[in-house]
Every structure is written in structure tokens, then in C-alpha cells.
Structure 1
Amino acid sequence: MGSFKKYAAEFIGTLVLVLFACGVAGQECTAANGTAGHLITALAFGLVIVAMAYSIGNVSGCHINPAVSIAMLVSGKMNVKDFCGYLIAQFAGAIGGAALLNFIVKDTAKLGTNALYHGSALMSFGIECILTFVFVIAILGVTSRESNGSVAGLVIGGALVLVHLLGIPFTGTSVNPARSFGPALIAGNLEGIWVFLVAPLVGGAAAALVYKFLDSKKA
């Protein structure tokens, strides 16, 4: 039952992330609000993470992102069974959130999908790796000390706002394979989706390896 509760929390958290944050992203994108739209979208993603961190963080850790889960796996803070369970829950939640969003807005152009930067898979891959690396290493840092528990959600939300502010003009910012896959699937546009599935996982795993080295107690 304990594992089921964690998976259920991840499903709900990812569904909420896609429904609200991608919903805001889709509205701002189609409204062509420029810099103001980028800021609003970045804040939407950050605020959802803050809300979910303090809502389900004590149940599942509030990963709601496969890139975070793979970082925890590489760090030795998660076993393979839970990693697989989290991924299934996260992708299912993202698909459910995108389907619900599409039901509400009735426009697949407003689902907040990602796009390759100037059509370049290589450039987009590099951008997403870097953005995810920064986001995940912030998560690993703030969650490495129990004394940071009361502020962890705020720091993580702030880090997500930061990477969105930089990344939105390039790829729309993914840093989350589930967040990208759900809207893309419902929108029927999977072109280049592999970039947004693989790059965040690479960035997350790299962040875990680097943080493990930096946090090593050995001289």
C-alpha cells in the first residue's frame, strides 16, 4: 500500500503540473504575449511545483518528473522498482493532465507542447541537458540536508522558474520528459519528442553524478 500511495501521489502531481502549468503556457503562447508571457509561464511552473512539494512531498518526495527520479536512482536514494513505478505514474499523469486540458480548451495548439530550437535536434538536446542539469542539481543540493525541509519547495520552485526564463525562447523548456510527452501525444505531434524524452534524463543523471562527487566526504 505504501508504494501505491507514492505512485498515486506522483500521478496526481504530474497531472496537476500539466493541467495548470502547461495550460498557462499554451494560453500565453497562442496569445503571443512575448516577455510577459514567458514570465507568467515560468511562474506558473514554479508555483505548481511549490504547491505540490508542500502537498505530496511527504508522500512521494514530489518528483513529478522522470529526470528527478533518475537522479534519485543514480544517487542511490531510490530502487529500480520504485523508479519504474514512478515513471509509469508520471507519464500516466501527464497524459491524463493533457487530455483533461484538451477537453477544457478544445484546442491542441493550447497544450503547451515543446518545439525544437530552429528545428535543430542537436541544439535542443544540448539546451535541455544544461537546463535539466541546473534544475536537478539545485534539487539535490537543497534536499541533501533535513534542515532545509521547510524551504525546499520554495527553492525547487524558484529553480524551475529560473530555467524556464532562460529556456522558453529556445525550446519552450521541458526539463521533464513526462511534461513533454503528455501534451505532444494528445496534440498528435510527436516530432522531435525523443529530444525531450532523452535529454532531461541525461541532464538529470549527470547532475546526480556531479553532485555525488561534490558532496563526497573524501578529501
Structure 2
Amino acid sequence: MVKLHNVMIKGTKDGLLLHLDDRCSFSELLNELEDKLLPHQQVNDDSHVLNVRIHTGNRFLSKNQEKKIKEIVGHKKNLQIESIDSNVILKKDAERIKRESEIQVITKIVRSGQILNITGDVLLIGDINPGGKVMASGNIFILGSLKGIAHAGCLGNEEAVICASKMSPTQLRIADCFTRAPDREEDKPQEAECAYVNDAQQIIIDKLIVLKKIRPNLNRFVEGGL
């Protein structure tokens, strides 16, 4: 009798973990999955539901293939799929992730009435004038004066920061938090500053050097300064 090893089931404290082999045919995989889950079909007590996490290795599942796997697992009264993951993604998803992790360098002055909307991080070499606005799903770095509005982490990323050579905004926003910069003395020299969200969900404006501690992954900007 040939032993089946295309489906490996491991019990965890959170439920079941299913490893599906990526080298066999999909039909073989479905047949073995049905056989391996057969004992769960005999369970009449569905009051205790087990969460099932599925990993398909290097096999990318089409929507129809995902549906077939969900149908097999769903027939077992006490099993509920929590997630289906794999090591591969669609090209469009890879391109989106790449865009979100890139730093876009833009040289311009954002004037009143203009809105600059960026996916990922943005390094703006120029000023944001009063009435101008820059939005980014990631961090905002400004080599110039921020006198308008800057909205970092606009898709909900509270870890995002806003940095500027001269911080005099009409409004700062990070995710859903917002504030205005404190009043400045016009003739007092101003050094580069950063804004971030603290544990109390408040936007804090501080010297740029603090990013070394609160956002260590941004050291490449902090060490060079703005």
C-alpha cells in the first residue's frame, strides 16, 4: 500500500495546520485531503470548532482551486478555515508591494491648491506652501519647508513619520491622528524635525535625532540629516 504524504496535518494550540505538497497534481492533492480529513467527518459534535490554517508551499491556487479546497474542509462540521497562504503571489501584487516599499524622490514645490498623493514613502526635495498638501501611504521626508498639510500613513499606518527641514505646517496627519505645529518665533533658527504618533495616539513633534530610538529602521535618513 502506498503511503500518502502530499498532505501533512499538524495539531497546534490554535487548531490545525495543513501543509499541502506543491509537487503533486492538484487532483491528487484533493483526493488525499479528502482521505486525511475523513476522521473529522465522523465527528458529530460541532460545538467545538477547530480553526484550520492551510499552506500550499510554492503552489499558487486559482480562485476555483481555493473554492474546491474550501468545499472539502467545509464539509467537516467541526473545521473552519482561518487562512490559506503560499510562498508565491501574483505579479501585480508583487509590483504593488514593491511600490509601497520604495521611496519616490520628487523635486518640486507643492503650491496652494495642489495635492501630491504617493503610494509608499516620498522624499520631496522642495517646499510645501500654505494650501498645498502631500499625502503618502508611508513616510514623508521633506528637504525644504513644510508650510502646508502633510498626511503620512494615509491608509492607516500609525508607524509612519513626517520629517522636514523646516516644520511649520498648517496641519499634520498620521493615519487618523492630526495636529498643528506649535507657534514659532520668526527669527529663531530652526533645525530639522520629525512628527510621529506616540503610545497615547498623539502626534509628537521632536528633533530628528529621536527617530534613531523610536523608528530604528529609518536610521539611513536620520544619520544623514535632512
TM-score range for the pair, normalised by the shorter chain length: under 0.3
Q: Which has the higher contact order (CA 8 A, sep 6+)?
A: 1
Question: In proportion to residue count, which structure has more strand?
Answer: 2
From the two aligned structures, give the one with the greater helix fraction.
1
- CA radius of gyration, larger in: 2
- TM-score (structure 1 length as normaliser): 0.24
TM norm structure 2: 0.24
